[in-house]
Structure 1
Amino acid sequence: MAPEPPSQRSDELPRSTRIGYGLGSVATGSFGTVPGLLLLPYLTDRLGIGAGLAGLMVFLPKAWDVVLNPIAGRISDRSTHPAGPRRPFLLRAGLLLAVLFAIMFAGPQSPTALAGGWVVVAFLACASAYAFFQVPYVAMPAELTDSYDERTRLMTWRVAILALAILVSGGLSPMVRDEFGYAGVGIFVGALIAIGALAAWRGTASARMHPVVSAEGSFTEQLRIVRASRPFRFLLITFVIQALATGVMLAGVDYVARNVLHDKALSSVLFVCFVGPALLVTPLWQRYAERRDKRSGFLISSVLLGGGALATLLGMHLGAVPAALAVAVVGVGYAGAQMFPMAMLPDVAAEDARRSGQNRIGVFTGVWTAGETLGLALGPFVYAAVLALGGYVSSTDGLAAQPDSAVTAIGVGFSVLPALLVAVSLLYLMRYRLDPPTREQR
């Protein structure tokens, strides 16, 4: 590794490392987005599975990660691989995930029981591989740098690339589906996941890690210590509830386009409006964090997230353009609601490591990603439950006429429900406290 140029501060990461690390979000963004966007419609409107059962089928494999993610964190904490404790997981688990994702949409479409079973087993395998990619990946920032502000800059790159990855994977996947079918979606997204995994593995090859002493004690004891962290607990609860709200909206995009706005092509438009603003506003959120603080930025972005969701209720009744504008407000809030907590998590974990002298970063991130996974998994499940309560009619061609009650459920589930969830999350965010270091300490 070449010596740092004199102009570069010792705590500042090279741009190549920031970008390399950020490119891992191509994998996390693609896998985190497309199943939530298209897997539920695939089950209800291609395989003909009832909305309630389809929601359960999407939820259960992801719920498995709630158990597996902390274990993956613990395993990566104790890794002694010469290439570093985290990087080998990026390559192996990332490439395995890419292959499994392509397989998930390549199964039979009849009989229904066989087709549904194929999806559940393949999605469970995907979720398992993803745990061993995502947890080490999220743990890396706390070990890449000791700097409070540098972690914010690192997260800015990550969130910006994440937004682009979500925009590409989620925006193009409905078009790929319409042109090449769901099997085409599997290949397309699998390729994106492979690219992201390889880029993160290669891009962090020259990074100098900042190891701390490995944690002692049993896994249960470590979880108990992590749970006892008040800042982490409130930050996690806030993030999980907002992940649920985001998952609900994401699951509803395709249904709103087809059944409320009566144009399936608007699925991509609404999705782009949801994610696109992040490419513009994420650097602005970063400046806010550096000049003020991350917590207040998280509060403001959360209000925009929830307020924009509520505004879509009116927007959907006024037409496609007002609906898209309301979703764009959601997108501005979503950018901050992703960047701020992901930049705050390494602060919490690094502060714990500083005080204890032990490396529990992997356990922190394992619990974090388990919570995030649970929230995102519950999103389609909750939205499917709303559809079932509204009497949504499943089919194998997506052309079934829907009763008025189902159309109402589609709209309310997409707008009012996520707004209420964000409002609840603010009650916990207000209780989060972790004083940022002074400028001299940064």
Structure 2
Amino acid sequence: MPSRRRLLSYGVGSVGTGIFSTVPGLLLLYYMTDTLAVPAGVAGLVVTLPKAWDAFFNPYVGAASDREAVRTGRRTHLLLLGAALLPLAFAAMFLSPATGSGAVAWITVAFVLAASTYALFQVPYVALPTEMSTDPAVRTRIMGWRIVSLTVGILVAGGLAPAVVDAAGKGRAGYALMGVVVGAVLWVVLTVSARGTRWVASRPGPEQLSLPAALRAARGNRTFFALLTAFVIQAAATAIMLAAAPYVATYRLGHYGLTSVLFVCLVAPSAVAVPLWGRAARRFGRLRCLLVATLGYAVGSAALLPVSAAANVPGTLALCAVLGICYAALQLLPLSLLPDTIVADTGRTGHTQSGAFTGLWTAGETAGLALGPGAYALGLAATGFASSTLEHPVAQTALARTGVLLGFSLVPAALMLVSLPALFAYARRRKETP
């Protein structure tokens, strides 16, 4: 069992990954449509295409991480490189000097760079738990530390970032200051984690597989792909809700400042719920608990439709807290199950391809997180949402305001239900009754 200091050093990296996974999904689309006057449909492409590139790029980073592990016995070099470059690219995303088409070009380039440098850290980082312990119970505990840290990062992102924007007067100045402040936080936590996990001895196998060979081997791991499919769908559902939060706060609840409050209510319960889900998983089984959380998130999301439509702020915040409890399980349990699929694959192929599998996993996660805001932006465009700048706001039609709300309620609920067949397929392939 790693010491608490080592667990904390590993976990703190998730503060950074939580920040980067959250802020672009929460604020970048809104920044473009309501500050830089980028049309919603175009803004949706901007937030989707860079992450689509990252989904392609991540497996290559995984293969490079395995090569580093074979050569040096560690994954530290890529971790440190990502920690150094990501904060710069992140800040650049919110420093656009132009509006309209100029802003589209600037943010697209900056976001591609940010997503790529994030992969340099995230892919080897996700591979580490498999190499920190061979005991599934210990790996679940490691994931508990990681998810608590991830929750802290998400809270920092969702609570601090919109508050900094609001305090600095919104507009370009507010987003620029937020980018610099959050970028500095990213640099600190990612560097601490990269240096604090140098003790982990990486063992990808007797010889590294090429990326094509790793992908061919992964195709035979149907258990892994069933779990990945469910996780990607659920990531898209939560990403849509995340992208919808500032729009719901502004156009349904009456004040942009409620974005931070909505987000804190959605995420803060996760910090308390993670250890509770861990204990429940040990008693009732991880997969059974994951199914309960998925259904709970679907029901809670659907309930937001009438409550938020009535501009019931207390009711909306209460439902978000319920969703936060379920969200903790949706983060903890799939990541706890992932190393099991990698270890099981070792017996089948003779190779522990942690980098290759986690490269595919993070590619899928990235795709889900990209599809969420992109799909939401298309929904806004389809319902006639009008983009604007802070200086020249535009009144939205009733149809557009309905489109704003659907992405916060019924769409995430439907996607959670769609993920259930993949979870049942995972159960069958593990020969485990959920």
- Settle same-fold status: TM greater than 0.5: yes
1:259 to 2:251 alignment: yes
- Alpha-carbon distance in structure 2 between the residues aligned to 1:379 and 1:424: 14
The answer as to 2:41 corresponding to 1:69 is no
In 2: Cα distance, 1:140 partner to 1:205 partner = 10
User: Within 5 A, what are the aligned runs for 1:334-413?
Assistant: 334-397=327-390, 399-413=393-407
Among 405, 420, 425, the alignment partner of 1:426 is: 420
* 1:86 alignment partner, one of 75, 82, 85: 75
Q: What is the CA distance between 1:230 and its match in structure 2?
A: 1.4
RMSD: 1.7
Deviation at 1:204, TM superposition (A): 1.6
Q: Distance in 1 between matches of 2:249 and 2:206?
A: 50
Pick aligned residue for 1:141 from 125, 129, 136: 129
| Contact 2:59 2:359 survives alignment (8 Å) | yes
Distance 1:240 1:175 in 2: 29
The superposition leaves residues 161-217 of structure 1 with CA deviations (integer Å, 9 ceiling, x where unpaired) of 10011001111111111123100111122112112211211322334x252415555
1:391 Cα deviation after fit:
0.4
Q: Deviations over 1:86-108 (max 9, x none)?
A: 22211111220011111221220
Q: Which moved more, 1:360-369 or 1:98-107?
A: 98-107
Greater shift, 178-187 or 346-355, is seen at 346-355
Q: Give, in angstroms, the shift of residue 273 of structure 1.
A: 0.9
Unaligned runs of 5+ in 1: 1-11, 438-442
Task: Say if 1:173 and 1:436 are closer, same or farther in 2 by CA, change over 3 A.
Answer: farther
Q: Deviation digits for residues 48-106 of structure 1, max 9, x if unmatched?
A: 01100000011100110111001100110111488643222111112200111112212
Task: Give the aligned length.
Answer: 424
Q: Confirm or deny: 8 A CA contact 2:58 2:359 kept in the other structure.
A: yes
Moved more, 117-126 or 306-315: 306-315
Q: Who is 1:7 aligned against?
A: none
Q: Deviations over 1:301-360 (max 9, x none)?
A: 111221111111122134001011111111111100000001111111122124433131
Any unmatched runs of 5+ in structure 2? 169-173
Any conservation in 1 of the 2:48–2:370 contact (CA below 8 Å)? yes
- Contact in 2 for aligned 1:304/1:330 (Cα 8 Å): yes
Matches within 5 A, 1:238-257: 238-257=230-249
Return closer, same or farther for 1:217/1:168 CA change in 2, 3 Å cut-off.
Answer: closer
For 1:232 and 1:192, the matched residues in 2 are separated by 33
Match 1:328 to one of 307, 321, 328: 321
Q: 1:203 to 1:252 in 2, by over 3 A?
A: same
Superposed CA offset, 1:240-283 (max 9, x none): 00000011000000000000011111111110111111011100
- Aligned equivalent of 2:32: 43
2:197 equivalent to 1:197: no
- Between the aligned partners of 1:190 and 1:260, the Cα distance in structure 2 is 31
The answer to whether structure 1 residue 29 and structure 2 residue 21 are counterparts is no
Corresponding residue to 2:88 among 81, 99, 105: 99
Question: Greater share of helix residues, 1 or 2?
Answer: 2
Q: Does 1:154 align with 2:142?
A: yes
CA drift of 1:386 comes to 0.7
* Partner Cα distance (1:264, 1:431) in 2: 41
Residue of structure 1 aligned with 2:307, choices 308, 315, 335 = 315
The correspondence for 2:152, drawn from 128, 144, 164, is 164
Q: What is the letter of the counterpart of residue 113 of structure 2?
A: A
Name whichever of 77-86 and 426-435 sits farther off.
Answer: 77-86
- Residues 179 and 77 of structure 1, relative CA distance in 2, 3 Å threshold: same
Tell me which residue corresponds to 1:60.
Answer: 49
Which stretch shows the higher mean deviation, 310-319 or 411-420? 310-319
Aligned 8 A contact 1:270 1:324 in 2: yes
1:291 shift after superposition: 2.3
Separation of aligned partners in 2, 1:37 and 1:250 = 5
Q: Bigger shift: 160-169 or 216-225?
A: 216-225
Give the counterpart letter for 2:366 in structure 1. Answer: T
Over 3 Å counting, the alpha-carbon distance change for 1:172 and 1:216 in structure 2 is closer
SS in 1 for 2:68: coil
* Closer, same or farther: CA 84–196 of 1 in aligned 2, 3 Å: farther
Aligned to 2:171: none
1:95–1:193 CA contact under 8 A, matched in 2: no
Taking structure 1 as reference, are residues 316 and 360 closer, same or farther at Cα in structure 2, changes over 3 Å only?
same
Amino acid at match of 1:260: R
The correspondence of residues 232-243 of structure 1 with structure 2, limited to 5 A, is 232-243=224-235
